[in-house]
Structure 1
């Protein structure tokens, strides 16, 4: 597949024009014209690039790419080494941030919601279509205790989680937004959720959870955002016959 056709394909799948994002979505570093082997991952770290080189990849697809707003624009140090490795090995880098969070079937939020078996899903932002919403609210088939739910989340993300249990109420209505979305906890409470799941936690988040009486789980930024990159690798392989593989460069954060 030609590089230009690959970007058109990704844009058709992920619809980046719908989002006002913090970094450019699409092709970020240009490589070879023909793309057959693709590595997907969460973040375009040096370790992921090195793994892509070892895999003889033509392209790398990530959720966290480069050129974030307000960052130092100079290509020096760590940024130089990463970009130099891509250019030296003629590897294309594609980054999709909010579009990969929000995709209703392939996205990070959808993946976590699927893993938890959430039904009757709506967007976390009232009135926003679910395909454009940053976050999901859904329901479990039946209420579960807080301890049961904690184990469900840990099974879904593959690690222990921080769980602030604020009362004895059972959990059925679940709000989630992967990554660094702890600021949405008040919105989750206003949507009537029993619990809010995200990746990170801030000091004030715990106080909000206690005072608004909504259980809170911080399950890891990286751990909650594996879903989209993994789903994209499977989709590109199964639907378009590309040699696509997800490589997980783990992070405890």
Structure 2
């Protein structure tokens, strides 16, 4: 079965409502390919490796969280940008990308799906554009939260706990999270009442805030925390429209 490019775009837009978000780049169809679509590949980032894998999988469309175009970037089509666009255009593949709308979707989005993987259900939202999630939890310590996240994601994580080793042993009743590069949400998580905040990356100021405010910080990897939304949403859309779907994982240590 195949559908038109416009039908697929309408399905993605209908679920993700990109018009609601102030974002860092364009959401929706970023590169136009063939008009009829029967096979969709999903991935985290529109890297050359993902594009080549999608070509091998005979994809008509690629659905990602991190697309090709971002506010403030160099607009010239040279180097890596030329290579990615050249592959997409030569093989007539559509590229769909949704950034903050995919983070925010309450069921299929990155935050909801990371919560599912970690066994946490969001009870309220916080931060800019209400992207952060907050949930009740019961852990004996921040170290226990970090260990749980590491086991669930299959990778090591960075924990900065208040007061050093002793602070890592304080009981945890509220967990907050926001996937990817959401370290700037830490102060909003603190204000929301979190005992620990989980995201993908940590910057230098957050380590000091964790030690000084009594709220622990867990950095679990940008890719690792955002690898669940794209396949979940693309699979749901493909199922509803009768399309073939395949998630292709391109490993990224960041």
Query: Within 1, Cα distance between the matches of 2:213 and 2:59?
Result: 48
Q: Is 1:148–2:144 an aligned residue pair?
A: yes
Q: Is 1:241–2:242 an aligned residue pair?
A: yes
CA shift, 1:190, in A, is: 0.7
CA shift, 1:148, in A, is: 2.4
Conserved 8 A contact 2:31-2:94: yes
What is the SS of the residue equivalent to 1:226?
coil
Q: 2:158 aligns with which of 151, 159, 162?
A: 162
Cα RMSD over matched residues? 1.3
CA shift, 1:245, in A, is: 1.1
Query: Within 1, Cα distance between the matches of 2:231 and 2:63?
Result: 10
TM-score normalised to the size of structure 2?
0.94
CA shift, 1:120, in A, is: 5.3
For structure 2, the 5+ residue unaligned runs are none
CA deviation profile, 1:208-230 (whole Å, cap 9, x unmatched): 11111101000000000001112
CA deviation profile, 1:158-201 (whole Å, cap 9, x unmatched): 21100112213111201111111101111111111000011011
Alignment-derived partner of residue 192 in structure 2:
191
Conserved 8 A contact 1:236-1:244: no
CA deviation profile, 1:14-47 (whole Å, cap 9, x unmatched): 0000001110000000000011100100100000
Conserved 8 A contact 2:41-2:247: yes
Count of matched residue positions in the alignment of Structure 1 and Structure 2? 247
Residues 239 and 151 (structure 1), Cα distance of their counterparts in 2 relative to 1, 3 Å cut: farther
Query: Within 2, Cα distance between the matches of 1:122 and 1:214?
Result: 18
Conserved 8 A contact 1:40-1:232: no
TM-score normalised to the size of structure 1?
0.94
For structure 1, the 5+ residue unaligned runs are none
Q: Is 1:228–2:224 an aligned residue pair?
A: no
